[in-house]
Chains A and B, each alone.
Chain A
Amino acid sequence: MKILVCAKQTPDSTVRVKVAPDGRSVDAAQITWAVSPYDEYAVEMALERKDADASTTVAVVSLGAARAKDSLRQALAMGCDEAILVSGPGAEALEGLGVAKALAAVAQEAKPDVVLCGRQASDDDQGLVGAALAEALGWPHVATVTKFAPADGGPAGSVNGIDVWKEVEGGHEVWRAPGPVVLTVQKSEKEPRYPSLPGIMKAKKKEIPEKDVASLGIGASLPKPEIVKMEPPAARGGGKIMKDGDAKRTAQELARLLREEAKVL
C-alpha cells in the first residue's frame, strides 16, 4: 500500500506565541516550527500501517516556506520513506483551496492508495484542506479517522478497499472506502513516535525534491480572506482557593459560587 501524508509546518504548540507589533501577525522571531499536531498523528498513523505491513511505503508532502524542509526531515527521521516540498513564490500566501489543488497535483503524480491529512492545522484551525483535496481529486473523504487498514480479500499486494475507523459520539464506526481515499485524522492509535538516532542520520542524507508551486498548474488563486487583527486571550484572573476545612460547607460554598459568580450551573 502506498500512503501520502500531507503535513503542514506550524508554530510548535509548546511555544507561547506573541502578537507582532503590527497587531495582525505573530512574532516570527519567537517561533520554533514543528509539524502541526494532527498532521503528526497522520504521520504516526501511516507509520503504524508500515509497522503492520513492511511493504507499505509512506511519502510525506509539505507546502510552504523552505524551512518546512526541517519538518519533512523530522517525518523522514520518524520513518517515512520519502518527502516532497512544494514551495516557491506564492506558496505561503495560498488560501486553502489553492493548497488543496496543489496537493492534488502532487497526489495525482504519486498515485497513493490513501492520502492522510490532519483534521485541521494548529495555526489557522480552518480544517478545509483535507476535504477540499478529496474534492479536487474526485476521491471520497472520511473525517475524524482514528485507524485504517486494507479491507480483506483480493490478491496479496493489491488494495481491495480500505476499512476506516472513525470516531463518533459515544463510540466508533467502521466505514469501507472502495478505492483511493482521503482521510482526515483525529488521532493515531499511539502517540507519535520519537525519531530514532539512526533515523535522524538516515533522514539527513535523504534528498528532498522541491516542486515549484507555480509549476503545478493550479490556476488562479481565489481571493484570500485577510487577517486584520490578532488578539491574545484575555489575561486570566487569579483563582480562588477555598480554605475552609469542612467538606460539606466547602461544597455548598463552591456550588453557590459556580451558580452566582461563575454562572456555570
Chain B
Amino acid sequence: MLPVAGSDERLLADAVAAYARDLAPRIPAAEEAGAIPREVIADLGRLGVLGMTIPEPDGGLGASSVAFALVLEEIAAVWPSLAVGVSVNSGIAEGTIVRLGTPEQKKRWLPRLIDGSGLASFALTEPGSGSDAAALRTTARRDGPTWVLNGRKMFVTNLRYAPVAIVLARVGEMDAHRPHAGITAFLVPTDAPGVVIGRAESKMGLLASDTSPLTLEDARVGADAVLGPQGTAFGAVAMAGLDGGRIGIAAQAVGIARGAIDRAAAYARERRQFGRPIGDFQLVRNALARAQTDISAARLLTLRAAWLKDRGRPFTTEASKAKLFASEMAQRATHVAVQTLGGYGYMREAAVERMARDARATTIYEGTSEIQRLVIARGMLSL
C-alpha cells in the first residue's frame, strides 16, 4: 500500500516535488500579496497536476487517489496555500463532476479545471450553517428554462480563480424532519448574472489562498447547471465530496508537518548552543522523533483511506480518521518546529512561522475535528 521508490505514484510525486521546491523563493511575496500567481496555476496545468485524477477518457491522466495524496503532500510541504487550492479544485470539484456530471457538463467544465486557467470552488458553508451543513438556506427556484438562486455562501476557497463554483442550494421548502431533502448541487459559472464575489477574507494563515464570500442575488443558470439528481446533493455531493476532500486535507496536513519538521531538523543540526548542536540535546531529539513518528502514522492513515477509495471500497470513516489525526498532528508538529527554531522560529522570515499558521486551518475546514469524531463514532455505534 505504501508506494515504494520507482512506483508510478512516487515518480509522479517526485516530479511535483522538484517543481514545488523551485517555487520556494516566490512564496513570501505571494503570501504577502495574498494571491497565488496565475503563472503558478498555469504551470500546474501544464505539468498535468490539475487533471491527474481525472480518467483518461475525460482528458486526464487517470492517476490514483494514492498518487494524488502524495502529490498534495509534496506541494503542502513547500506551500500549503497552493495545496488547499489544488485539493479543492482537483479533489472535490473535479471529482464530483467526474462522478455525477453529464457528458456535456464534463465537456464544458473539466478542460478549464485541468488546463491551468483557473481553480474551481465548492460552496457549501453559509453564515448560519457550517458544521450543520444540512441547515443551509440558499434557495433555487425553477423559472421556465432557468434556475434562479438566492443566498449567501461563506469562506469559499479559490473563488477569485474559479470559472465555476459547485453551489449547494435548496429546492422547495425546508422540512424540519428531513432537512437534507431538496438540497441540490448547481454548476454556477462565476460570470453568470447575479453572482457576486465579495471581498476576500483576511485570515490567520493560508494567506495566498483565496477565501471569499459568494452572494447569489437572483443568479440565473440554465437547466443544464444541475449536477447530479435533483434533491440528493446532501449525500451525493456534499458528504461524498467531502469524504474525498478529507483525504486531500489529511495529505496537506502531513505535508505541512513534514515541511516544518524537516526545517527544524536541519536547524537542529546547524544551530549551536552550549558548545554543541542543539540536536545533541535529548529534549530536542525527543520532540523531533515524536513528530517524525506522528507524521509517518498520519501518512499511513491518509494513504490507507486513499487506497480504499481507489478500490471502490467504503472509506468515509477512514478518511475522517486520517483527516482528524493528520490535522491534529500538524498542530503538534508545527509547534515543535517553531519551538526548535526558538526566537527565529517566531519571526516572519522563518517558513515554520507560516506553516504553524497554515496548519491551524486543517482542523477546521472540510469538517472540524469534532465533526470527524462524530463521523467515526457513528460508524462504531450505529446509533
Contact B46 A197 (CB under 8 A): no
Which residues from A are CB-within-8-Å of B8?
201, 204
B197 to chain A, nearest CB (A): 31
Contact B18 A196 (CB under 8 A): no
Task: Decide if the interface of chain A is mainly helix, strand, loop or mixed.
Answer: helix
Tell me, in angstroms, the Cα distance from A196 to B50 when the chains sit together: 11
> Does B52 sit within 8 A of A, measured CB to CB?
yes
> Does B174 sit within 8 A of A, measured CB to CB?
no
B139 to chain A, nearest CB (A): 41
Within B32-62, the residues touching A (CB, 8 Å) are: 43, 46-49, 52, 61
Given contacts A197-B12, A197-B52, A204-B8, 16 further A-B contacts (CB under 8 A): A194-B18, A194-B43, A195-B15, A196-B15, A196-B46, A197-B15, A197-B16, A197-B48, A197-B49, A198-B48, A199-B48, A200-B15, A201-B8, A201-B12, A201-B61, A204-B11
Tell me, in angstroms, the Cα distance from A199 to B12 when the chains sit together: 10
With contact pairs A201-B8, A204-B8 given, residues A194 and B15 touching in the complex (Cβ less than 8 Å): yes
> Does A117 sit within 8 A of B, measured CB to CB?
no
Which residues from A are CB-within-8-Å of B61?
197-198, 201
> Does B63 sit within 8 A of A, measured CB to CB?
yes
Residues of A in contact (CB 8 Å), total: 10
Within B59-92, the residues touching A (CB, 8 Å) are: 61, 63
> Does A132 sit within 8 A of B, measured CB to CB?
no
> Does B19 sit within 8 A of A, measured CB to CB?
yes
Within B5-26, the residues touching A (CB, 8 Å) are: 8, 11-12, 15-16, 18-19
Q: Could you mark each residue 181-217 of chain A with 1 if its beta carbon is under 8 Å from any beta carbon of chain B, else 0?
A: 0000000000000111111110010000000000000
> Does A77 sit within 8 A of B, measured CB to CB?
yes
Q: Could you mark each residue 57-81 of chain A with 1 if its beta carbon is under 8 Å from any beta carbon of chain B, else 0?
A: 0000000000000000000010000
Which residues from A are CB-within-8-Å of B49?
197
Tell me, in angstroms, the Cα distance from A18 to B48 when the chains sit together: 36
Which residues from A are CB-within-8-Å of B43?
194
Contact A77 B48 (CB under 8 A): no
A67 to chain B, nearest CB (A): 12
A253 to chain B, nearest CB (A): 28
Chain B's closest residue to A199 (CB) is: B48
Q: Could you mark each residue 365-379 of chain B with 1 if its beta carbon is under 8 Å from any beta carbon of chain A, else 0?
A: 000000000000000
Contact A196 B48 (CB under 8 A): yes
Tell me, in angstroms, the Cα distance from A198 to B61 when the chains sit together: 6
Which 6 pairs, one residue from A and one from B, show the smallest C-beta to C-beta distance? A197-B48, A196-B48, A198-B48, A194-B19, A196-B47, A197-B12
Which residues from A are CB-within-8-Å of B47?
194, 196-197
A74 to chain B, nearest CB (A): 9
Tell me, in angstroms, the Cα distance from A48 to B16 when the chains sit together: 22
Tell me, in angstroms, the Cα distance from A156 to B273 when the chains sit together: 70
Which residues from A are CB-within-8-Å of B16?
197
Tell me, in angstroms, the Cα distance from A141 to B43 when the chains sit together: 36
Chain A's closest residue to B71 (CB) is: A197
B272 to chain A, nearest CB (A): 13
Which residues from B are CB-within-8-Å of A197?
12, 15-16, 47-49, 52, 61, 63
Which residues from B are CB-within-8-Å of A196?
15, 46-48
Tell me, in angstroms, the Cα distance from A199 to B61 when the chains sit together: 10
Which residues from B are CB-within-8-Å of A77?
15
B22 to chain A, nearest CB (A): 8
Which residues from A are CB-within-8-Å of B18?
194
Chain A's closest residue to B45 (CB) is: A196
In the complex, 28 of the A-B residue pairs with CB atoms within 8 angstroms, ordered by the A residue number, are A77-B15, A194-B15, A194-B18, A194-B19, A194-B43, A194-B47, A195-B15, A196-B15, A196-B47, A196-B48, A197-B12, A197-B15, A197-B16, A197-B47, A197-B49, A197-B52, A197-B61, A197-B63, A198-B48, A198-B61, A199-B48, A200-B11, A200-B12, A200-B15, A201-B12, A201-B61, A204-B8, A204-B11
